[in-house]
């Protein structure tokens, strides 16, 4: 892909001197760069997992409670040698290596997370280590958090930076990562761990639809972390589900109106979208959300065609929508009616969710990665995909992306998908851990949480090549990290990198 300067000849970068530091001046004309969106993506998930079927047996719960009831098959987790900062270091370094973008060409880097390990120092500041060798200290932004919504907040902050007078022609990186852990009990199987880093810029193969997003926010205690001495949240499960579904309702109806205006379409409905991708706390909630979209379409459409299409549903029109979140009859009916939509447009996005579990801020973007690698490139080229992001507390946004219609070999879309195509292979090569050992590891992490000084027992051989890990925490709580060296295969892969520039 050509550089920003090559593709925007009229925006040629001018360099001025400010002391000893070179500062790129902002573009001189046309403040609306074309096709801003995701140029490349990199996924992280732990090399360890526990099987949910085995966990059901270990926890002495009914068979299928986790696998059928939640829709989960495996859950990824880390031990005490990996933390949120090592995860972010790993994915940003991999993204830079795969794209071959010079670290000097990054002008904005924001981290969305809720896995805080410091109440003052940002994770982004730790990531600045990756830019020291090239002496790039002019990178805007810090961290943002609100439960699972932080990654989306970071994404739109990056987009706004590129489309503002602050933009100097460089790229942005958005990092979404979390370690989703719960206390022993019913909520623990809804955990997981993962991260996603995205390179953001113009002329992208995944274009964020400009001027069409819908946001819904409110003050709710459905999921929160008031105990700063613990990694575990306080969860009101039933309230959390109703908040999520309410946000789906509110965002979808507003988003359709916004998209109609931007796309100049007379009508926007589910037929307009080729893919439906959701934040996934657990897979069954996503399936219910697809049904919820169809339920909203039913309520909005009172035509004769709709009456025929939704036979036996007319009685549901009289029910207050606020009373329908746990209405089993409505849920069952619209899950049934939306089954084909779910299978075609959403189920392909749940690969990582079901295999790794909830990744909090990275969940939605892991689902986008799953969608991209689960279909043939000729099938996804030119598609419109709807995305829904939710974070407890609460904050939610619905938006869409347009996928490039050029899926030919060597095209930006082809190179993006090729760079994440090893996701399935990496899933298969993970190490399965017995539920007893998993429980033991979780108990050990509880004991050492917040401890300083601390030196974890690092079993480097269990880490994937190129993974950063926690080396030690000194008596001042300062953390240092090391990286497991790349093997010949990884070095060869990076030699065939995307070459964004």
User: Which residues form the catalytic set?
Assistant: 114, 148, 279
Q: Would you report the helix, strand and coil content of the chain in percent, each value rounded to 5?
A: 40, 20, 40
DSSP class of residue 454 equals B
Three-class secondary structure assignment of 131-200: HCCCCCCCCECCEECECECHHHHHHHHHHHHHCCCCCCCCEEEEEEEEEECCCCCCCHHHCEEEEEEEEE
Pairing of strands 234-235, 106-112: unpaired
What are the backbone angles phi and psi of residue 222, rounded to the nearest 5°?
-95, -30
Q: How far apart are the first and last CA of the chain?
A: 6
Residue with token string 């009101």: 236
Cα distances from 439 to residues 70, 298, 417, 442, in angstroms, run 20, 45, 36, 5
Distance CA 364, CA 388 (A): 7
Instruction: DSSP letter for 265, please.
Output: -
Cα-to-chain-centroid distance, residue 432: 24
The rounded Cα 160 to chain-centroid distance in angstroms is: 18
Dist. CA 59–CA 456, nearest whole Å? 27
Secondary element (H or E) of residue 360: none
Q: Is 395 helix (H, G, I), strand (E, B) or coil?
A: strand
Distance CA 231, CA 220 (A): 20
Tokens of 109: 């880097």
Cα 55 to the chain's mean position, in Å?
A: 26
CA torsion sign for 83, 116, 167, 401 is positive
**Region for 178 from its dihedrals, namely left if φ exceeds 0, alpha if ψ lies in -120 to 50, beta otherwise:** beta
């Amino acid at each position: 892909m050509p550089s920003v300067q090559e593709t925007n000849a009229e925006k040629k970068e001018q360099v001025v001197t400010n002391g000893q530091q070179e500062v790129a001046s902002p573009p001189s004309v046309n403040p609306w760069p074309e096709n801003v969106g995701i140029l490349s993506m990199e996924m992280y998930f732990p090399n360890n997992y526990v099987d949910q079927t085995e966990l059901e047996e270990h926890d002495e719960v009914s068979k299928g409670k986790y696998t059928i009831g939640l829709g989960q098959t495996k859950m990824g987790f880390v031990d005490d040698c990996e933390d949120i900062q090592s995860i972010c270091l790993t994915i940003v370094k991999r993204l830079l290596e795969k794209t071959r973008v010079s670290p000097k060409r990054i002008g904005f880097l924001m981290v969305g997370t809720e896995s805080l390990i410091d109440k003052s120092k940002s994770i982004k500041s730790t990531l600045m280590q990756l830019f020291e060798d090239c002496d790039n200290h002019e990178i805007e932004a810090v961290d943002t958090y609100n439960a699972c919504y932080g990654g989306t907040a970071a994404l739109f902050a990056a987009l706004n930076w590129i489309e503002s007078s602050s933009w100097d022609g460089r790229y942005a990186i958005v990092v979404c990562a979390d370690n989703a852990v719960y206390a022993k009990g019913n909520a623990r199987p809804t955990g997981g761990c993962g991260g996603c880093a995205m390179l953001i810029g113009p002329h992208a193969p995944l274009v964020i639809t400009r001027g069409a997003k819908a946001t819904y926010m409110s003050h709710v205690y459905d999921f929160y972390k008031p105990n700063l001495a613990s990694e575990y949240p306080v969860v009101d499960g039933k309230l959390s589900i109703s908040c999520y579904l309410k946000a789906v309702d509110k965002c979808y109806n507003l988003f359709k109106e916004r998209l109609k205006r931007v796309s100049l379409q007379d009508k926007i409905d589910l037929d307009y979208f080729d893919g439906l991708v959701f934040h996934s706390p657990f897979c069954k909630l996503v399936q219910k959300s697809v049904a919820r979209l169809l339920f909203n379409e039913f309520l909005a459409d009172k035509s004769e065609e709709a009456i025929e299409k939704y036979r036996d549903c007319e009685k549901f029109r009289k029910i207050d929508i606020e009373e329908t979140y746990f209405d089993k009859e409505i849920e069952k009916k619209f899950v049934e009616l939306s089954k084909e939509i779910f299978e075609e447009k959403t189920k392909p996005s749940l690969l990582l969710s079901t295999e790794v579990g909830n990744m909090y801020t990275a969940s939605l973007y892991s689902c986008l990665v799953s969608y991209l690698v689960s279909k043939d490139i000729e099938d996804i080229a030119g598609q419109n995909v709807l995305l829904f992001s939710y974070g407890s507390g609460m904050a939610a946004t619905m938006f869409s992306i347009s996928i490039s219609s050029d899926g030919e070999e060597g095209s930006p879309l082809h190179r993006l998908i090729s760079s994440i195509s090893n996701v399935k292979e990496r899933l298969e090569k993970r190490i399965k851990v017995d539920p007893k050992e998993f429980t033991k590891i979780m108990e050990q992490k509880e004991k050492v949480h917040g401890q300083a000084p601390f030196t974890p027992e690092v079993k480097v051989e269990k880490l994937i090549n190129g993974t950063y890990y926690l080396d030690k925490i000194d008596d001042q709580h300062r953390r240092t990290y090391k990286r497991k060296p790349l093997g010949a295969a990884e070095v060869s892969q990076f030699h065939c990198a995307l070459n964004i520039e």
